[in-house]
Structure 1
Amino acid sequence: MSVPIACLGAGRMGRGIAIVFAYAGHPVSLIDFKPREAEAFDALAKDARTEITDTLQMMSRFGMFDADLVSSIAARVSIVVEAEAGAALATAAVVFEGFPEVPELKREALARAEALMGPEAILASTTSTILVDDLSGALARPAQFLNAHWLNPAFLVPLVELSPGASTDPAVTARLSALLEGIGKVPVTCAASPGYMIPRIQQVAMNEAARMVEEGVASAEDLEKAIRYGFSFRFSVLGLLEFIDWGGGDILYYASEYLSKALENDRYAAPDVIRANMEQGRIGLKTRQGFLNYEGMDVAAYREDRLRALAGRLAAEGLMIPPVA
């Protein structure tokens, strides 16, 4: 069943979210939530419609759907001028705020939107950096508010990080999670913590890659090859914690000890949870307990399934060469 969706802000994030929901059959109001002259709004609306249509056409070229459906999917998105925002917000089941990462701007937009929304509607920020409770103080109904961090490009990346605040009603988180699952997304819930999950991991990896170029460890070109054909290759199939369990938490611990001493930097040291897991015998597949639980699992079949997926990635990269007879 389709429900009306609203996106505050007609920029890149709002457009991406609008495409996702329109693709799944939901009507979407893409709201330009700031006053503009008519000419400026017309230009913005034209640009938004063009980008949405162009993106849908590109998706059809990827084989995601028949190109004949582009116009009908795009028609589900309405570009709404600020003066008419009230009507769109009053009927929306979920409102996603996509303003710039400036707390004051977000608080003002969220408070204005909440005043125009229905009492049961869900209000979600899409911030990648600001904590939920640093924004919820501006709201009269914080129980209906949480963060939903989408990863760009939103129309392709499945993950959405949900982060409820101290006052968020758990039923609201469950409702939004169910809605996202219904449109093919993979929602995960995390505590309100700076950087949430993926941005926090990304920051470490990206900065470390830049640091290695800076230190002359490798050229940018060779480092990119190493990431694409090694790091990203494995982790396109295996999760980070899953990979710890594959190799063994004890291996990670001792490797981390060596690296932190060799590079004279504690940022490479293993966290306390790795040592605690070792002491409890939770080192991974070898003991059938690690970060994940492998009790009762056919480990050989599980390994083969993951390796089959890696073989598929090898083929996708054009690197699966035939054997020499």
Structure 2
Amino acid sequence: MSARGHIACLGAGRMGRGIATAFAYAGHPVTMIDIKARTPEAFATLQSEALGEISATFATLARLGLLQSADAERLMSKIDVAPAGARHDVLAKTTLVFEGVPEIVDLKREVLGAASRAVAPEVIIASTTSTILVDDLSGAVERPERFLNAHWLNPAYLIPLVEISPGKATDPDVTVRLKALLEGIGKVPVVCAATPGFIVPRIQALAMNEAARMVGEGVASAEEIDKAIRYGFGFRYAVLGLLEFIDWGGGDILYYASRYLEGALGSDRYRAPEVIEKNMAEGRLGLRTGAGFLDYSGMDVAAYREQRLGALVEMLRHFKLARPPVMD
């Protein structure tokens, strides 16, 4: 029996399977609990599909060099799928619960409420919803102070980021505990307020809509736009965060560029937010003033710049675009 805590996933769909893969990979026993009452034959089909998909995922990870082929069978032994009727027995032994059922408020409240009555009082319960705010669900949970949202990005077993969103009733210690548990399996959790879109979906919705809009306007082909994203936009932001990049160039540059785009394209969607003007008024322009969105006081800025440039060079090597100089 693993010394690592048992993880329960409410639902055996895409999210449950991804989370099960991530935790089993990190040595945790995991049970995906079916939320529907099914005939034995129907449950056997679901179980076979879920375990088959996870087995195929481990096989892919082995081909990609993240594990040995011989490890896959041992990892699979950590994962189980339980029928709805076995829910209470499974939840009685679990140390952490993730809810991953369809994005239907009433269904989530029903499943979360039942789970909260079956687990021990100290067990953290996390919804993985990508659209519903935690406070719209917490009222169904017994002891809502141990409830919060943990939004994983697909594929959950590969993408490091997990967005943690505590609710009004969430005990701060619960947030700390979940963050530590996720870090323990190699994830990179970030904490954000309970607002629509969290962090990544809110930013990526703007970027995806703008890319689609440019195709519609005939600015460039889909292939050219995606090439620009891979080798420009995504290339830089794999090393520099968005706000760090504002500081790198200067918030005033963003302000004036935004004003131009707003006028030239006739849309206030390019307007700089008030925080940019506030930073400018306070002299917080970024690296060159020692502070912007981030604080650079006391930092060796030259060393920092070189470190970031070194990371960009590594990206060039990754894309096989680094070349030696031409010495004629």
SS in structure 1 at match of 2:292: coil
**What's the Cα RMSD here?**
0.9
Distance 1:40 1:52 in 2: 19
Q: 2:99 aligns with which of 86, 91, 97?
A: 97
SS in structure 2 at match of 1:199: helix
Q: State the 1:65 CA deviation.
A: 2.1
Q: State the 1:321 CA deviation.
A: 2.7
Q: State the 1:68 CA deviation.
A: 1.4
The aligned counterpart of 2:122 is 120
SS in structure 2 at match of 1:7: strand
Q: Mapping of 1:49-198 within 5 angstroms?
A: 49-198=51-200
AA aligned to 1:58 is: T
The aligned counterpart of 2:256 is 254
Distance 1:74 1:311 in 2: 38
Distance 2:296 2:60 in 1: 41
Which deviations, in whole Å up to 9, do the C-alpha atoms of 1:179-233 show, x marking residues without a partner?
Answer: 1111111111111000011110011011111011111111111111111111011
**1:310 has 2:324 as partner:** no
The aligned counterpart of 2:24 is 22
AA aligned to 1:2 is: R
Distance 2:205 2:109 in 1: 26
SS in structure 2 at match of 1:92: coil
Distance 1:266 1:147 in 2: 32
**1:324 has 2:326 as partner:** yes
Q: State the 1:140 CA deviation.
A: 2.4
The aligned counterpart of 1:240 is 242
AA aligned to 1:120 is: E
The aligned counterpart of 2:34 is 32
Q: Mapping of 1:3-22 within 5 angstroms?
A: 3-22=5-24
Which deviations, in whole Å up to 9, do the C-alpha atoms of 1:256-306 show, x marking residues without a partner?
Answer: 011111111111000000000011111100011010111111111111111
SS in structure 1 at match of 2:291: coil
The aligned counterpart of 1:214 is 216
Which deviations, in whole Å up to 9, do the C-alpha atoms of 1:238-260 show, x marking residues without a partner?
Answer: 10000000010000001001111
Q: State the 1:50 CA deviation.
A: 1.0
Unaligned residue ranges in structure 1 (runs of 5+): none
The aligned counterpart of 1:299 is 301
Of all paired residues, the percent bearing the same amino acid is: 62
Q: State the 1:148 CA deviation.
A: 0.2
AA aligned to 2:289 is: T
Q: State the 1:76 CA deviation.
A: 0.4
Count of matched residue pairs: 325
AA aligned to 1:236 is: A
**1:45 has 2:23 as partner:** no
Distance 1:63 1:56 in 2: 10
Q: TM-score when scaled to structure 1?
A: 0.98
Distance 1:84 1:102 in 2: 23
Distance 1:276 1:168 in 2: 32
Unaligned residue ranges in structure 2 (runs of 5+): none
Q: State the 1:145 CA deviation.
A: 0.5
SS in structure 1 at match of 2:9: strand
AA aligned to 2:239 is: V
Q: State the 1:112 CA deviation.
A: 1.4
Distance 1:245 1:60 in 2: 40
Distance 1:305 1:208 in 2: 32
The aligned counterpart of 2:206 is 204
Q: State the 1:137 CA deviation.
A: 1.5
Distance 1:174 1:130 in 2: 22
Which deviations, in whole Å up to 9, do the C-alpha atoms of 1:297-317 show, x marking residues without a partner?
Answer: 111111111111111111111
AA aligned to 2:314 is: G
Distance 2:299 2:69 in 1: 43
